[in-house]
Structure 1
Amino acid sequence: MNLSDMLSYADIGQLSKIAGVYRCECNGNSKNELIQSILAQMSRHDVFEEQINGMKLEDLRFLNSLLFESRQSYSLEDLIARVQQSRFGEEQQAQEKAAEETVKKTRSKKKAVPPPAPPSPRDIIARFKHQGWLFNGYSGPGRYLFQVPNDLKTRFRETLKRRFADSLQYTDEPPVYRDEQGLLLDDIKTFLHYVYHYEVQLVSDGSMYKRFLQQLLDLMGVQEEPPAKGAWRFGYGRHFNQYPDRFSLLYDFCCSAKYVSESEGLLAVTEAGKERLLKSPTTSEHEQLYRYWLKIYKGPVANLLSLVHWVHSLSGEWVTVESVRRVLTPFVKTYYYDDPNAIFEARLLKMMTHLGLLRIGEHPLYGTVMRMTKAGGLLVEGAAQNLDQQRH
């Protein structure tokens, strides 16, 4: 539903609070006047952007977590969890600063005043309700669920895009760039062909013997080195600790698609895998691979979907990686030894390039630049649309 629909179902108490936030001048006892006044105020670009510009970073992160999903409703517990997940980085800095202030005041023999507690998740959710950005359902079990108006989601995305774009450095086309469209799908066939023709043995942990792995890596369209011994590798797939990033995704996808099976110390091609060997890559399989990547990477990178959409939205033309990094890394949470920059580079941009969604180039003046591929843009938008259709 859109904002006007949700306002019509809201009670006069919530309408009065929303009207107060936007300083509406109207008859507070008339629901119709309240709705019309709220719609008039919220439709103004200056008023809407003022609200966005006044938001703290953690509020922007919370809002961002709601903008690109196909789901329409959220439980209170889900929203509370999202608020809590949006608090990182600055919280630690605030605590350290508060500790320093306490030490200073203790040394000066003055009574230390504890810093004010941050607003609770429920307070933030209530504030979003008062701003007319979150609404309860109006009947049945839906009364206990929250929704964001669809038209507001669009306005939020457009407003944030303009804000982000103001900080970006766009360029002309670089003389040299990488474009891996189709290579990963071709390498699936190469992988299956190798496994079909050779007896690939597995060690006790389920991984291939190193000689088989090295032979396969040499056959791939994009060259990778096996992971360094002792390097930390976990969280990004079942075999991520044993294989390099791109090959790990390829291998895990083939297992998930049941193209190969691991049994009795051997890796073998299944009947489904044999059928795949006889076929050419399809757009459908490309979308399945993209969605599989989202599925396994969204554990360590909770807001991966929104990051992909922002890269898509901001990289319609050649743009410097550094300027996009500055805009998006504040929304990226550290995952163990992966800091936001590492996640942005290795887990997002590099994997999007391997998936054929993104081109990466070197510009003589601006350094590393990137641009979404046309097929990548269609895939990101199409996958979202297909997910919407499956849910309804």
Structure 2
Amino acid sequence: MKLADMLSYADIGQLSRIATTYQCECNGNSKNELIQSILSTVNRRDVFEAQIGALKLEDLRFMISLLFDARDAFSLEELIARVQQSRFGLPAALAQAPAAAEAAPAKKAAVKSSAASSATKRVAKSKPQAKERPEPESGPRETISRFKQYGWLFNGYAGPERYLFQVPSDLKERFKQTMERRLASEVVYADDEPHAYRDEQMLMGEDVMHLLTYVHLNEVALTTDGTMYKRSIVQLLESFGVKEPLPGKGEWRFGYGRKIKDYPNRLSLLYDYCYYQGWIVENNELLELSAAGKERQALRSAEPPDKLYQFWLRLYKGPVPNIRSLVHWIDKLGSRWVKADTIMATLTPYVKPFYYDQPETILEQRLIGTMLHLGLLRIGEHAEHGQVIRMTPLGKTIVAGRSIDDEAIVLNG
């Protein structure tokens, strides 16, 4: 539902609190006047952008996590978890809300509601002087309450006794547009083409075919833990359109797929994709094609890049929970050649560390590097700006036009 629809379902108490937040001049006893005044104020671009600009980083992360979720309704428990997950830049003691801070007494809530209603009535008579806004409380419930007062979250019943919260659909788009303008102002664009660039469009899809063909034509032995021997890995990499170095000994590698610990990043993704499709099987210390794999190999055709993209998003969703939003921002910021280190600096605050993988590594290797392999973007060398990146036409089409299942893939075994 849109904001106007949600306002019409809200009770007068919530409308009064929203009107007070925006210092609306209206009759606090008239629901219709409250709604019209709120809409006229919230729809002003300067007011909306000022509210976004005043948010703390963890609040921005929280809102972004809601914008790119396939669902449109969340329980209170889910929202509390989202707020806590958005505070990864804070010390653990501050990221967890104390129980005392979350337990708001009914009496205190009633006093706040009464005060909000009275304040709205006073606004109808004369516009109040700008007051110094108190420092907002830091508990997850206070964050959710604050978003409700902004008119960004509305709750309603879904079932007999369960509250669900929603973000108005039209505000979602305004949030995305406002954030895009904000992030774009922080990066540096190149006015001309780089002197050279790397483009891997369609290569990964072709290497799916090469992997299946290699397994079909060779007896690929596996170690006791189900890993190809080095000789087979090297031969397979030689047949690919993109060469990769083998992982270093003792290198920390887990979380990004079933075989990330054993194979280079790109090969690992290709192997996991074919394994998930059921085309290859690890059988009695041999890697073989299944019946479905033999049929797929006989086609001798490249795998569609959108299918590889969808698989990657779902596979990496575990270690990078907000991968969809990060890909969205890279897509928008990379509409033309942009200086790579400015994108890194701009988006790193929105990347959560994953064990020993720091945000910079995740953004550079797991996201931008893989998007290059998937053919979604190009990486170039510019005489003035150094490394630059830009989305490919194929990449923009795939990112803009595909909706994926929100569940993360878990490859066992």
Instruction: Give the TM-score normalised by structure 2.
Output: 0.85
Tell me the CA shift for residue 342 of structure 1: 0.6
Distance in 2 (alpha carbons) for counterparts of 1:141 and 1:200: 58
Distance in 1 (alpha carbons) for counterparts of 2:66 and 2:332 = 16
What's the offset of the Cα at 1:288? 2.0
- Who is 2:221 aligned against? 201
Look up the match of 1:113.
Answer: none
Name the Cα RMSD after superposition: 2.0
Matching of residue 137 in structure 1 with residue 156 in structure 2: yes
Change (3 A) 1:347 1:118: farther
Of 166, 175, 197 in structure 1, the residue corresponding to residue 185 of structure 2 is 166
What secondary structure, in the 3-state scheme, does the structure 2 residue paired with 1:137 have? strand
Q: Please name the residue that 2:285 is paired with.
A: 265
**Deviation readout 1:71-100 (Å, 9 max, x if unpaired):** 1111111111111111122436989xxxxx
Alignment match, 1:184: 204
**What is the alpha-carbon distance in structure 1 between the residues aligned to residue 160 and residue 333 of structure 2?**
38
Deviations 1:283-309 (A, max 9, x none): 7x3222111111121111111110001
Distance 2:56 2:166 in 1: 21
CA contact (8 A) 2:282 2:288 kept: yes
| 1:278 Cα offset (Å) | 3.1
Aligned to 2:272: 252
Q: What is the rounded CA distance, in whole Å, between the counterparts of 1:246 and 1:305 in structure 2? A: 19
**Post-superposition offset of 1:142:** 9.1
Any conservation in 2 of the 1:300–1:335 contact (CA below 8 Å)?
Answer: yes
**Matches of 1:61 and 1:131 in 2, distance apart?**
16
Q: Deviations over 1:1-55 (max 9, x none)?
A: 1111111111111111111111111111111111111000000011101100110
- The alignment status of 1:372 with 2:391, answered yes or no, reads yes
- Aligned equivalent of 2:176: 157
1:127 aligns with 2:146: yes
Which has the higher mean CA deviation after the structures are superposed, 212-221 or 35-44?
Answer: 212-221
- 1:178 and 1:359 in contact (8 A); partners too: yes
Match of 2:28 in 1: 28
Structure 2: how far apart are the matches of 1:380 and 1:315?
Answer: 12
Q: How many residue pairs align between the two structures?
A: 366
Retained in 2: the 8 A contact 1:136–1:143? no
Structure 1 residues 56-71: aligned runs within 5 Å: 56-71=56-71
8 Å Cα contact 1:9-1:138 kept in structure 2: no
Partners of 1:282 and 1:50 lie apart in 2 by 48
Q: 1:223 aligns with which of 243, 265, 270?
A: 243
Match of 2:54 in 1: 54
**How far apart in 2 are the matches of 1:146 and 1:125?**
10
Q: Which residue number corresponds to residue 129 of structure 2?
A: none
User: Cα distance, 1:137 vs. partner?
Assistant: 2.5
Question: CA separation in 1, counterparts of 2:153 and 2:240?
Answer: 48
Query: Gapped runs of 5+ residues in structure 2?
Result: 96-134, 407-413
Q: How much has 1:218 moved relative to structure 2?
A: 1.5
Residue 364 of structure 2 corresponds to residue 345 of structure 1: yes
Q: Does 1:287 align with 2:306?
A: yes
Secondary structure of the corresponding residue to residue 281 of structure 2: strand
Letter in 2 for 1:220: F
Q: Which amino acid aligns with 2:234?
A: Q
Q: Which residue is equivalent to 1:106?
A: none
| TM-score, normalised by the number of residues in structure 1 | 0.89
1:361 aligns to 2:380 (yes or no): yes
CA contact (8 A) 1:192 1:269 kept: yes
Residue 282 of structure 1 and its aligned partner are, at CA, apart by 6.3
The percent of aligned pairs where both chains have the same amino acid is 56
2:104 maps to: none
Deviates more, 1:203-212 or 1:84-93: 84-93
User: How far apart are residue 276 of structure 1 and its match?
Assistant: 1.9
Going from structure 1 to structure 2, the CA distance change for 1:275 and 1:142 (only over 3 Å counts) comes to: farther
Residues 336 and 130 of structure 1, relative CA distance in 2, 3 Å threshold? same
Which amino acid in structure 2 is aligned with residue 237 of structure 1?
A: G
User: For residues 147 and 136 of structure 2, what CA distance do their matches in structure 1 show?
Assistant: 19
Tell me by how many angstroms 1:280 deviates: 5.6
Shift of 1:281: 4.5
Instruction: Report the Cα distance in structure 2 between the residues aligned to 1:334 and 1:185, rounded to whole angstroms.
Output: 30
